[in-house]
Amino acid sequence: MYICAFSNITEIVKDKLSYKKALLDRKFNRSDNFINLTLAGVQQCVKDRELPKDSSIYIASENGNINTTIKVLDSIFIQKKLPMPFNFLNTVNSITLFYVAKNFNIEGKAIFTDSFESALPQAFVDVAQGKTVLLGVVTEAISDLELHKKRFGDKEIVESSRWLLLSPKTDDVKAMASIEEFKLQTYTKAEHSQEELFTFLESEEEMFEFRGESLSFRVLKFDGG
């Protein structure tokens, strides 16, 4: 399995959430903060590439579209009224997948999972079958920063959109790194996180050994990767 490209959008939130649409090259209608954050990561990863239509999409997010979900629940249970239709639709995880598929011309498999470690084995299977895969990990902060701290207890509030473009080995593939020795195994404790993987991809280091809670692998960069 080869890494052809990646993106690593991260932002430490200080006072308020930034305007994510400013990161986008084009306008996306009826999108919210989580969707815009997702699309910004995909845009930076894909750039001007034209992906195969049968490419797979995997989005991993522990809390999903949390701000719009809060708005919808507030409308229903606090304000005692029906939520706005597009707010309600945007709480459904498959809607974010739809935005990515529609705007990047992809018609293949699209799956939303709760973690990087649950998405990667499925992506590995797709790549082994000759598919190109877009795999992202998206984390949105609650716009009410005090509520976020109360709920998650974070010392730093971070929003991120991290993406990998994965491909099988072909004669015309232009890859920056390979993923080797991929193993599924339960470990007592995770030694690494996806944040460390993306930090490695941005660094000048040549090799990274990843060991999580349920899988391990090695990443080797090519010359110029």
Amino acid at 90: N
φ, ψ dihedrals at 204, nearest 5°:
-100, 5
Per-residue pLDDT band at 117 (split at 50, 70, 90): very high
Provide the pLDDT for residue 26.
Answer: 82
Confidence of residue 203 (pLDDT cuts 50, 70, 90): very high
pLDDT number for residue 29? 82
Q: What percent of the chain has pLDDT over 90?
A: 89
**Mean pLDDT calculated for residue range 65-76:** 94
Asked whether the beta carbons of 114 and 61 are under 8 A apart, the reply is: yes
Is the separation of the CB atoms in 53 and 114 below 8 Å?
no
Q: Residue 44: helix, strand or coil by DSSP?
A: helix
Per-residue pLDDT at 145 exceeds 90: yes
User: Which domains are seen in the chain, by residue range?
Assistant: 2-174 (3.40.47.10)
pLDDT at 224 over 60: no
Chain segment 81-110, per-residue pLDDT in tens: 999 998 999 899 899 999 999 999 999 999
Parallel, antiparallel or unpaired: strands 157-167 and 207-211 = unpaired
Amino acid in position 187 = Y
pLDDT of 36 reads 96
Model confidence at 175: pLDDT above 60 = yes
pLDDT at 154: 73
